[in-house]
Amino acid sequence: MSTSDPIQKRSRPRGGPEKSGPEKSGAADPAVLDAVELAMIRIRRRQSRRSLARPVVRGMAEPVDLNTLAVVDAVDEGAGEDGRDVTVGFVADRLAIDPSRASRIVADAVRSGFVRRVASQEDGRRSCLELTAAGRDAVAAAHITRQRFYSAVLDGWSGEEQRDFARLLTKFVHCLDDADRA
């Protein structure tokens, strides 16, 4: 594990424009922005390879498609939000895909037996999604596999570093969500 400070490695963004004019109050340091950008690029590359989802799928008792696992995760996430109906639109939003693609992969998840359609308690004409027993088992297996992986990655970090990382990463993700809504 590299513990060197990525912010110390560069004095200014690579290939970026030179900074001119007075610095805005609260504006991030260009070296910080560079370090965050590089880290996010590496995370995106790992996520696009689905390197963490594949072990989840291999460890499942029943075969599950990676897209189905993504739907199951989104439905599980939505079920935890108070009063929110989990719909195909919700899945599309969470997976950042268009509604027609979401509809197709939700249909596959329903056919596979991991998700079921139910009538909305708010509006009977509306179709909502919930996990089946197989879907709940898939979520549980995914959580175990991911958390084992994160535990191995965080091995060697102090408890304080782990808590700080979790707090700051969560704050960062909330800020990303807010930026998407703006």
Digit-coded pLDDT (tens) for 97-118: 999 999 999 999 999 999 999 9
Residue 148 has pLDDT above 60, yes or no: yes
pLDDT category at 13 given cuts 50, 70, 90 is very low
Residue 128 has pLDDT above 90, yes or no: yes
Residue 24 has pLDDT above 60, yes or no: no
* Average pLDDT taken over every residue of the chain: 82
Q: What number is the average pLDDT over the span 105-134? A: 91
State residue 11's pLDDT score: 47
Taking the C-alpha atoms of residue 153 and residue 165, their distance in angstroms, rounded to an integer, is 12
Q: How does 7-26 read in b/e, with b if 16+ C-beta sit within 10 Å?
A: eeeeeebeeeeeeeeeeeee
- The DSSP letter of residue 18 is P
Torsion of CA 60, 65, 69, 70, to 10 degrees: 160
Taking the C-alpha atoms of residue 69 and residue 33, their distance in angstroms, rounded to an integer, is 33
Question: Which token pair is 169?
Answer: 């990463």
